[in-house]
Structure formats: structure tokens, C-alpha cells
Amino acid sequence: MSEHPREAQMEGKRPGGASLLPWIAALAGRVGHFRRELLGADSWAPAARVGVELDRALAALEVPPTVPALVVMLGGTGVGKSELFNALIDTPGASPSSDTVRCHTSQPFLAIHPLDRAHLPGLPGLEPVLVEGGVPRGVVLADTPDIDGMIERHHGVTRQVLERADLVLFVTDPDRRANLQVLEELRRWAPRKRWLFVLTKADRYPGTIDSIALDFGKRLAETGFTVDRGSLFVVASVRPGDAGIERLRQSVLRPGDENRMPLLRQDAFLRQSAHALAAPLLQPFQEESGRLRALAQQGQARQEQAYWQALSQPRAADAFARVVKQAAWKELGERSGPFLFPAVWARARMQPLATGWALSRGLRGGALGVAGALGASALWALRGLSPLRHIAEALGEGFQDTLAAVEHDARRTLEDAGLDRIGIAEKTANSDEKKEMPAGLGAAVEGFLKHWTLSDLRPELLARVEADVDAAGRESARLATSGPGGWGILVAGNLLVAGMVGWVAWRLGKSWWLDTDLHTSFFLKAAALTVLSFLPGLLLLGWRVTAQVNPRRLRGLMGKGAPALAGGQLEKVQVALEGWFRQGGDIGKSLEEAQRLLSADLGPDATWGTSLPAQSAQSAAQARKAQPSGISRVNSIAPASQPASRG
């Protein structure tokens, strides 16, 4: 297949760009999915802007391929649009013009091929005047009212037609080429359309028209366009056989271009969506994400400081230490050795507070779980024995106030930024670590008890206290059973119990071997001695645990990476914004690449106008930021508004 689009067309084959269509369709799917994700964030202005631009981009793909390409003329009043229109279609008076009265054209004039009449581009609310002939099939040429005259209704009509344009002819004359109002309109539409630039009334400036055209090119460069000779036309509409008119006609109204329409619209979609996902529009996502991250870190630091300060108070430290000791006993079970294990297990579960703590963690599953849960319910009915509540209350009201203050601040920060109403799927920074919810009646009863007794306490605080107690308990148990002292106690304790159990087993074995009976007193004595043999190990272990769990050194027992205390709202929103920024950037890069390939496939001599490159969009945006306010206001995506009146 020929690579040259015109030759390929003549051969009856699809132009080269058609091979990109599947990729572009896939990109359209990604863009659509991204747009749907952003719907929940439409209450936030930057997200709404991106959303509106993406909607416009997607709308380009919804135009049926049978609809002819719309070429629209944009310009100020009196620059010669109607004359140019008539000259291009070689039909004098088709669009009435006047060299006396200005703001003459009030409705769009559409030059259309008779066979395209059934597929007219939709222009709801307008009453375009149709002029048949003068254009090839597949192209409609539109003459519009002005964009800067004193009749504002004309501006709205022009913009409505522009919205549907596939190609725009920007028309101006030498006197008006630096007109701010018209160039602002150009900037507003620049990233979304393909452009050709026409300088009219060349006959009035015979000696200086070339310099004027050069100066006009400079004005367009300031706007951000890279204009090549193929995109700029200098015409004299009133001059018969004008070379500029002929050249423009060849570029815009070339026969056989109807096969290129789908590619043109794909290009429009790529360009507009790339613009929507370009750095200037996505930057607020990253900036706001960074800002929220910093604020969330500040809030967390404040909470941590308050937490440790509260925990260092004697009352809280004592309460914490008591619960940590019970947690340590629970961890000691697997570290205490095979012979001390039963005693340690029993000890870990039999003290009232320990029982409450252990039962509060849930003996999950089966009859034991049910029994444990029912037992915990009796203790929890007294409420004050709930260990977690005990610690939470011991932390004091000052700490609770700090948590509440940080939550208030987080909520207000989101309200200030307009981010308080965005809908985010429930995902956090550690979304991979999903906590598995236990099943079964025990877990259900545990859940009910927690809700009944702890529902007024903050879940984040409870989770944090639980995590810290667990960590401290594990560490205490490890320290208690490590080192020479710990090993020594474990060995001695286990040996003692082993020895006693061994003696009992030897006596039992001997009596069985000798077929003698053992007196009841032996069994009583054996039971008592066995129980007593546990005591030294238990007492020594208890002494070791108490030594490790020092209220003044609790912080050293807890590890890092504990869950945040409160105020996770900021983090959720920050993660969402960060995700959107990255996702949008990735899609934008793919769109730019696709657009580059498609533009190359459209061919170098297919002068379907120049478009505002993404880099130029960025530099234009930066240039706009540097400009005084009169120009920067064109950044608004709202329809063009009246320039501010100063008098």
C-alpha cells in the first residue's frame, strides 16, 4: 500500500492513518474510563475543567463519518469574511456583505454540496442559510458573524458554529491583526482545533503587505502557534483570480477529501484530550496532592506527639503497662517451652484483666470461641474492665481533644479546597493490606461487644492502641525470654517441670510393670508437686516480664509503622489526587504519541491546518500567566465573557 495518502486514495485503498484506528479506539476507552472516575470529583474546579475538556474530546468521536467536515471562518467584524466566503465558492453575493454597514452577517452561511445536504452538521437553535455548490462533497464551508462587534448575540452564534468546526480559518485584515479581543478568542479555541490563517485586503497595502504578513506571523507566534508557510494565506478577495484565494481554495476545498473525515475527527479527539490531560490542567492535581500530603503529615505528627505525651502521664502509662503485661503473657506461651507452656497459657487467660483482654481478642471459632465470647460479655458488661477503653480513657481528655482538633482541621482543609464532596472509592495508601474479617459466631459476638462498649471511642485510636499493645507485648515477651537470664529461666523452669513429670511417669510405669497399686496419697502428692513445680518458672518469668514492661520505657517496646491515629480523610483524598495525576499523565503521553503518528500519516502536503502543539500549549499557558490580567483571563473554559468594563 502506498504511504502517500493521496496516492493511496487514488488506488482505492485506505489512507495510512486508518491503521491507527484500533489503537485510538482503545485510547478512547481509557479516556472514557478516566472521565467516569473524575465524575465524582466534579465539585472540585480543576477536576471539572479536565472533565469538560474530556467530554468535548469524546464528543468528536460521536459525529458520524457521513457528516461532512465543517470548515469555519472566524474573525472580527469588517475583516472580510463574507467577501472571502463568496470568493472561495466563486459565488458573488452568496453571503451578503457591505463595505458600509458593519455587523452585517447575523446568521451562519453554509456552502454545502447537494449530496451532503442530508448529512448537515447539527446546529441547534440556529437558522443557517444554505448555499448549494462551490464546495466538493465532504466539506461544508461556513461564514459566521463576528466575534467582536457590538451585537453580542453574534458572538454566541459564532461560538456555537465553532464548537462543531473540524477546521478553522482565522481571518483578519492588516489593521485588526493585533486586536486583543479577537486574539483572545483565538487563544481560547487554539488547543482544540486545526487552524489556517488568512490575511485579507492585501490589495489595500500593495507595497507593505509582505512586512505586514511577517508581523502577523509574529503575533501568532506570541499566541503559541508555529505557523508555516502552508498555513498562512494572504488574499485580496475583491481581486479576480487572486493567487492567494486560489491557493486557499486548493487547500480547503479539495475534491475527494471525504475519506479523510474519520481521520480528521480522530485527530480532533486526540488533540483535545491531549490538551485536557496536558501538564497545565493536571498540575493542580499534583500541587494539591503535595499540599494535602504535607498537611496530613503535620496532623499526624501532632497526633503522635500528643499520643506520646499522654502515654507518658503516670495514669495512662500504668494502664498501658498493665495491659501490655497481659499481652506479653499471651505471647509467652509459644516461647516458654513445652513443659512450662500449660502453666503460662493458663496464667495468660485467668486474671480478670488478662481474661478480659484475651477474650476481647477473640478465641475465634467453634465452641471455645462462643464460650470465650460469652465470658467476655460478662466482663464487658461492667464496661470499666474493657482494657482498650481503660487505656483510651487513661490517655486523657487533652489527647482526645487533640485528635478531635486534627480531625476538624482535616475536614476544614478539604472544605477550603472544595475537596470535601468528592467521591472516592475506599482505598488507602496500604490498600493491599486487607484485614481478614474472621467468620463465625465468636467473631460476630466479638464485633457486637466491641460495638456496644467501644462505639463511642474512635476506631483509629482503638486500632492504634491494639497495635501498640500487641507490638509491646511481643517485644516484652521476646526480651523476657532472650539473653542468658531468659534462657536460664526457661531451661530451669522446664527442667523442673520435666523432672517432676518424669518422676511421676517413672513411678506410674514402675507400678504398672510390677503390677502394683499406687496409693491415692501418691496421686495427690504427685498432683501437688507437679503444680508446685510450675511455680518457680512462672514466678521467674513474671519477674522478667515486669522488668521489661517499664511504664517509662514503653516507647522502646513498640515498633514503627503503627497505623495513623485519626484524620485519614486527607490521606484518602491525597492518594486519589495523586492517582488521577499519574493516570492522566500516562494517558496524555499515549495520546500525544498517537497524535504525532496520525499527523504524520495525514501527510505533509495535506494542509489541514496547523494545530497548537502540546508544548506550545504549555508555553502559551506560561506566557499567559506572565501576561497582565487582560490576557490571562482567556484561560477560563467558560464561554467568552464581556471584557471588564472600566467606566
Partner 1 sequence: MKLDSFLNATDRLATLVPELLDLLGEKEKTPTGWQALLERAGALRLQGGKLSLVATLYGPTGAGKSTLFRNLTGIEVPAGDEIRPLSRGCAMAVPEQWDLPERGPALRSVLPGFDLRPLDRPDRLRQEDGQGLVWYRSADRLGGESRGGAGPGAPGLFLVDVPDFNSLEIANHERAERVLRRAEVVVFVVTGDSYADQKVVEELARCCQVAARLVILITKVSSPEKARLKWTDLLDDKLTRTDLPWRAKFQGKREDGRTLEQFLRECPVHAWPLAANPGLEDLRPVTAGAPPLASLLLGLDAEKVAAEGLLQAGASTSEWVGQLANRAEVARKERQRWRAALDEDLARAGLAVAGHEFPIGRTLEVLMEESRAGQNRVFRWITYPFSRISGWLQGGFQAMTEAIRSAISKPGSGGELVRLEEAERKSLKRVAEELADKWRDRLPAWVGALDSARCRQACDALATATLPSPKTNWEETLRQSAREWVEKNPTWAHTLPVVLDLTTVGGLGLFVLDIGTTGGLLGSHVVLGSLGAGGLVAGGAGLAAMLLRLADKMHFQGVLEEADRAWREQRGREIADHLRQHLLPGLLGEKLREADRLTSFPMEELRRLAAELTRKANGES
Residues in contact with partner 1 by CB under 8 A are 76-79, 99-103, 148-152, 173-181, 183, 204-205, 207-208, 211-212, 215, 219, 222, 315, 397, 401, 404-405, 408-409, 412-413, 415-416, 627-631, 643, 645-647
- Minimum distance from residue 419 beta carbon to partner 1 (Å): 12
| 3 state DSSP class of 528 | helix
Contacts of 588 (CB under 8 A, 6+ apart): 273, 274, 277, 278, 282, 614
Radius of gyration of the chain (CA): 40
Angle at 487 between CA 484 and CA 489, to 5 degrees: 105
- For 195, which DSSP code? E
Least separation, in Å, of the C-beta of 406 and partner 1? 9
The closest of 205, 405, 422 to 306, measured between CA atoms, is: 405
Buried-exposed string 447-482: b where 16+ CB fall within 10 A, e elsewhere: eebbeebbeebbebbbbbbbebbbbbbbbbbbbbbe
Q: What angle do CA 71, 73, 77 make, to 5 degrees?
A: 165
CB of 149 to partner 1, least distance (A): 6
Residue 315 CA to residue 393 CA, distance in Å, equals 10
Q: Computed from CA positions of residues 404, 409, 410, 416, in that sequence, does the dihedral angle turn out positive or negative?
A: positive
Closest CA to 168 of 136, 148, 143: 143
Q: Which is nearer to partner 1, 208 or 312 (CB)?
A: 208
> Is the CB of 174 or the CB of 442 nearer to partner 1?
174
Q: Is 561 helix (H, G, I), strand (E, B) or coil?
A: coil
Distance CA 385, CA 391 (A): 10
Least distance from partner 1 to the Cβ atom of residue 44, Å: 16
- Compute the distance between CA of residue 29 and CA of residue 33 in angstroms, rounded to an integer: 6
d(CA 138, CA 265): 13
- Distance of closest approach, residue 111 Cβ to partner 1, in angstroms: 24
Nearer to partner 1, 228 or 401 (CB): 401
Least distance CB 175 / partner 1 (angstroms): 4
Task: Tell me the closest approach of the beta carbon of residue 177 to partner 1, in angstroms.
Answer: 6
Which CB atom, from 61 or from 183, has the smaller least distance to partner 1?
183
Q: Of 471 and 634, which has the nearer Cβ to partner 1?
A: 634
Helix 366-380 with 441-454: angle, nearest 10 deg: 10
Say which residue the cell 479581543 belongs to: 181
Q: Which is nearer to partner 1, 180 or 350 (CB)?
A: 180
492 vs 497: CA distance, rounded Å: 9
What's the closest the beta carbon of residue 150 comes to partner 1, in angstroms?
Answer: 5
Q: Which is nearer to partner 1, 434 or 646 (CB)?
A: 646
Instruction: State the CB neighbour count (10 A cutoff) for residue 401.
Output: 11
574 neighbors 289 (Cβ within 8 angstroms): yes
Q: How far is the CB of 565 from partner 1 (least distance, A)?
A: 17
Least distance in angstroms from the C-beta of 75 to partner 1: 11
Distance CA 360, CA 462 (A): 12
Tell me whether residue 180 or residue 367 sits nearer to partner 1 (CB atom): 180
Nearer to partner 1, 118 or 150 (CB): 150
Closer CB to partner 1, residue 130 or residue 180? Answer: 180
In order, the DSSP letters of 361-393 are H---SHHHHHHHHHHHHHHHTTSTT-HHHHHHH
For 285, other C-beta atoms within 10 Å of its C-beta total 25
How far apart are alpha carbons 369 and 502 in whole angstroms? Answer: 34
Q: How far is the CB of 519 from partner 1 (least distance, A)?
A: 44
204 vs 507 by CB, closer to partner 1: 204
> What is the nearest approach in angstroms of partner 1 to the Cβ of residue 151?
6
197/213 Cα distance (integer angstroms): 10
For partner 1, which is the closer residue by CB, 78 or 333? 78
Nearer to partner 1, 502 or 630 (CB): 630
Spatial separation of the C-alpha atoms in residues 281 and 603, rounded to whole Å:
30
Q: In angstroms, what is the minimal distance from the CB of 298 to partner 1?
A: 10
